[in-house]
Structure 1
Amino acid sequence: MESLMKEYERGYEMLQNAIEGLTEEELHYKPAPDKWSIHQILIHVADSELVSITRMKKVLAEDEPLLFSVDQDAWANNLEYEQLDREQALQLFKLLRSSMQTIIAQLKAEQFERAGVYADAGRFTFKELLEFRVEHVRGHLAQIERVKEAYRQSQ
């Protein structure tokens, strides 16, 4: 559990390291029309964190709450991620993680087993939601690396 909590805490730093030194051209490069740019990925990660913090808090505060899913592609397209402020999104991500870290650090072991229910995916414990947050950043870090490589190949 300790390593999971540490990696959760390092999410912002890991994202910052992944984009360090990239140009605006690299950040906005899309490897294909239906693929996200690094800029869009970062906005998505912040939006996803915003939604997930609500889910995590509901699980800790309410008994078996109903959790909701979002359509990430609709968010990216209809909220025009390419036009949003990347630095603002990263700061929001950092603040959300920091505020949640304070709560996580105080949890008792049994609180990690509290659960919520997705109508479309079933029951998830707080620990599973936390694991997913870590995996989510890992997955998008790998996606960022793929976009960086595609950009290099296109040059």
Structure 2
Amino acid sequence: MTSPVPEVPQAAPPIVPDTKDWTAVLGVGCEECGFRPDEVPPAALGGAVRDMAPRWVAALHRPDVQVRPDPTTWSVLEYGAHVRDVHLLFAERLRRILTEDDPLFDNWDQDATAVEQRYDLQDPAVVADELADAAEAFAALLDGVREADLDRPGLRSNGSAFTVRTLEQYFLHDVVHHLHDVRG
């Protein structure tokens, strides 16, 4: 008698990619979530990241964490996995912009990553722990940024120019905006 072959869970349908240029929120704020990342002083960024981590952890412990509110919107789990990866990616980018001259950041297709990494099937408790760890590591990195380095430049693969200051603001908006998305 042969053992039954375990059934592989079917992937959640991919979300239609967001093509909005979110760099537009720099300097003017976000109409959708109301956040003004330019109003947070660079010296306060580490604390802001630490303050948001428990809200993400709480959201990832909700009983409906894997339920999409509609077919075109990520679940809290998918947003949480994305935000964990945003912390990791921006930590890498910040390290590069602080240590390299004019680094060019590789493209990151967040929608493809969500499908490839099966965000929809990850363990919410593990994602919560990993997000908290990534947030603390990134906050520590932010705490060490010197004011003299805030204008160091870097480029995204699509040509968007960043400085340390605007990279930090862009990151902060992403995390705050997604907390708004999940009502965290």
Which consecutive residues of structure 2, in runs of 5 or more, have no partner in the other structure? Answer: 1-40
Partner of 2:108: 70
Deviates more, 1:7-16 or 1:121-130: 7-16
Partner of 1:14: 55
Q: Partner letter of residue 128 of structure 1? A: T
Cα separation, 2, equivalents of 1:66 and 1:21:
37
Cα separation, 1, equivalents of 2:138 and 2:159:
24
Cα separation, 2, equivalents of 1:102 and 1:139:
22
Once the two structures are superposed, what CA deviation does each residue of 1:13-52 show, in whole Å capped at 9, x if it has no partner? 23134x27621xx212212222211111111111222222
Cα separation, 2, equivalents of 1:62 and 1:85:
36
Cα separation, 2, equivalents of 1:53 and 1:106:
12
Q: Is the 8 A contact 1:27 1:38 kept in 2?
A: yes
Of structures 1 and 2, the larger Rg is shown by: 2
Once the two structures are superposed, what CA deviation does each residue of 1:113-153 show, in whole Å capped at 9, x if it has no partner? 112111204210111111122111111111102xx9xxxxx
Cα separation, 2, equivalents of 1:109 and 1:115:
14
Matched, 1:103 2:141: yes
Query: For this pair of structures, how many residues does the alignment match?
Result: 143
What TM-score results when the alignment is normalised by the length of structure 2? 0.69
What TM-score results when the alignment is normalised by the length of structure 1? 0.81
Report the aligned-residue RMSD: 2.0
User: Higher helix fraction: Structure 1 or Structure 2?
Assistant: 1
Q: Is the 8 A contact 2:81 2:131 kept in 1?
A: no
Which consecutive residues of structure 1, in runs of 5 or more, have no partner in the other structure? Answer: 149-155
Residues 29, 117 of structure 1: CA spacing in aligned structure 2 closer, same or farther, 3 A cutoff? same
Partner of 2:126: 88
Residue 155 of structure 2: SS of its match in structure 1?
Answer: strand
Residues 120, 15 of structure 1: CA spacing in aligned structure 2 closer, same or farther, 3 A cutoff? same
Q: Partner letter of residue 62 of structure 2? A: L
User: Quick one: percent identity of the two aligned structures?
Assistant: 21
